[in-house]
Amino acid sequence: MRARSIATATATALALVAARDLVQKKHALLRNFPVLGHARYLLETIGPELRQYIVTSNDEERPFSRDQRTWIYASSKGENNYFGFGTDNDVEHTQGHAYLKQRTFAGTLPDTHDPQAPLPSAKVLGGPRGRAKAFRPASVVNISAMSFGSLSGAAITALNKGAALAGTLHNTGEGGLSPYHRNGGDLVLQIGTSYFGCRNEDGSFNIDKLKDVVAGAPVKAIEIKLSQGAKPGLGGMLPGAKVTPEIAEIRGIPRGEDCASPSRHTAFGDVDSMLDFVELLAAETGLPVGIKSAVGEMEFWQELATLMARGDRGVDFVTIDGGEGGTGAAPLTFSDSVSLPFRMGFSRVYGAFAERGLTDDLTFIASGKLGLPENAAVAFALGADMINVAREAMLSIGCIQAQKCHTDKCPTGIATQSPWLARGLDPASKATRAAVYLRTLRKELLKVSAAVGVAHPALITATDIEIMNGDYEARTLAGVYGYKDGWGELGPHLAEEITALLTTEQSSEQSSERSSDQKPTA
């Protein structure tokens, strides 16, 4: 009897769906194929998941392949991240693939097996320009700019706690400094075109509000965002429905009203006035100040390098974002076709400063799918001093690459403001995973550096890597990107300093361990 009732109810429900499909005019497929046509929309909805786990090979899926995601997941959990039975890449024919050339002999190298091994920046951030609060970043791997608003409070909390555990910097993103950024991690405060958190009512910049924000949080540096890889040269619109009381307070905007972010800054309008703005922020806060940008036309960078060559004004760091970057939502044209890919864009910017002998005078930070050892090694060889990771950090705290960041329906509670979805993300456990991933990536970079025969990834040169250029042929990274002798390398003083720093710390630790072992027992 019960089975008959269930069957009757099911048949009635299907009949109602069929009737609706036949009379609606929005979808021709459903009018022609009532009920059955819904299967197409279901498959379309779960298509990314099906391709990830059933259809594609280990190296096909984008933005991150199954192998890449597997490595990040295993690394974040502290599990075995090795792969067995050799590579499944077509190593002789994969155009553009990078190969590192190991050295047979090397000098003293750091311990590559210690998960807690230090890997600080080879440069002092703000040191060359004498900033009052210049410092040497403790980690060459740091968390990239992702705002509260684009990510949930639980996700920001997990990342900040993870940054604290791993000793890395955490970039706030342009959405302002939220309570979720105050969980122990040191911060890089990003300022975008809307000046969220440090703006007047009309949207103009307010230096006093910036000083208040900096004074009340562990901000170690300030980054002025000119553009980003996901949508360079494009402003944004935050609909009023998403401007909650919490977001309104953090960003300093009216509650419930649309907030349009302009595509350009209003506090400056050219390179000369931008440098004045940089020096103002540095003088008022004492902090290192830099810029973040994707790379398009080169006139801006040439002029910036020329003005900095005078020595009186300058940025302390530049963060170069690749066009393949992007953690959230963007128009397809901008994601696919605006701004240069990382390697091409970074090498051009680095060359502009190298031509003028300035590369030791500022820190180069690289961003754009660099949270994988191979990509990171190439970035360091091109001249990067540090790397920022964004999507890889999201993967470490549970992102499954569902590619629903733009819908506010992220199934893992990361890229959403839905309380119901965000509650599924436990910040405490995910913080540990983020920290383990960051430490593991640093350890992998030490291993790669040791294979090349150097103590630090910043000592890998553009001649230590070759790029596949057609079948059975390769060119050095330097040759591919037109690097001159010495480009991409640290100056002798910096190279000696970072090598001594790493090997001295290791020797000190080993001496302490031997002393402890030799102490008599009671």
In terms of Cα–Cα distance, which of 246, 269, 248 is closest to 257? Answer: 248
Nearest-angstrom CA–CA distance, 119 and 107: 18
Report in angstroms the alpha-carbon separations of 320 from 285, 291, 338, 346, 503. Answer: 24, 9, 14, 6, 30
Q: Looking at residues 244-258, what average pLDDT do you find?
A: 84
Q: Which of 49-63, 358-372, 504-518 has the highest mean pLDDT?
A: 358-372
Q: Looking at residues 41-56, what average pLDDT do you find?
A: 64
More confident residue, 153 or 27: 153
E-strand ranges in 359-515 read: 363-367, 386-389, 465-468, 474-476
Report in angstroms the alpha-carbon separations of 207 from 92, 162, 277. Answer: 56, 30, 10
Which amino acid is it at 461? Answer: T
Nearest-angstrom CA–CA distance, 81 and 192: 37
Cβ atoms of residues 85 and 423 within 8 Å: no
Coarse DSSP helix, strand, coil percentages of the chain, rounded to the nearest 5 percent: 40, 10, 45
Nearest-angstrom CA–CA distance, 51 and 56: 5
Residue 47: its pLDDT value, please? 65
Residue 248: its pLDDT value, please? 85
All structural domains of the chain with their residue ranges: 1-54, 100-504
Report in angstroms the alpha-carbon separations of 39 from 45, 53, 153, 247, 433. Answer: 10, 19, 35, 39, 37
Percent of the chain residues past pLDDT 70, beyond the cut: 87
Q: Looking at residues 435-463, what average pLDDT do you find?
A: 96
**SS3 (DSSP) at 63:** coil
- pLDDT over 80 (residue 170): yes
- pLDDT over 50 (residue 521): no
Q: Looking at residues 45-58, what average pLDDT do you find?
A: 63
Long-range contacts at 253-258 (CB < 8 A, ≥ 24 apart) = 253/194, 253/196, 253/199
Planar angle of CA 195, 171, 169, nearest 5 degrees: 145
- pLDDT over 50 (residue 522): no
> Considering only 28-32, 65-69, 185-189, 217-221, which range has the smallest mean pLDDT?
28-32
**SS3 (DSSP) at 79:** coil
- Quickly state the pLDDT bin for 256 (edges 50, 70, 90): confident
- Quickly state the pLDDT bin for 13 (edges 50, 70, 90): confident
CA 403 to centroid of chain Cα atoms: 17
Nearest-angstrom CA–CA distance, 515 and 522: 16
Q: What would the two tokens of residue 50 be?
A: 């099906």
- pLDDT over 90 (residue 315): yes
Write a three-state SS string for 383-403.
CCCEEEECHHHHHHCCCCCCC
Q: Looking at residues 115-128, what average pLDDT do you find?
A: 93
Give the CATH fold of the 100-504 domain: TIM Barrel (3.20.20)
Mean pLDDT over the full length of the chain? 87
What does the chain come to in residues? 522
Q: What would the two tokens of residue 334 be?
A: 């901008």
- pLDDT over 80 (residue 454): yes
Neighbours of 5 (CB within 10 A): 9
Any idea which residue has 């210049």 for tokens? 134
Q: Which of 17-31, 202-216, 388-402, 467-481 has the highest mean pLDDT?
A: 202-216
Predicted structure pTM score: 0.87
- Quickly state the pLDDT bin for 317 (edges 50, 70, 90): very high
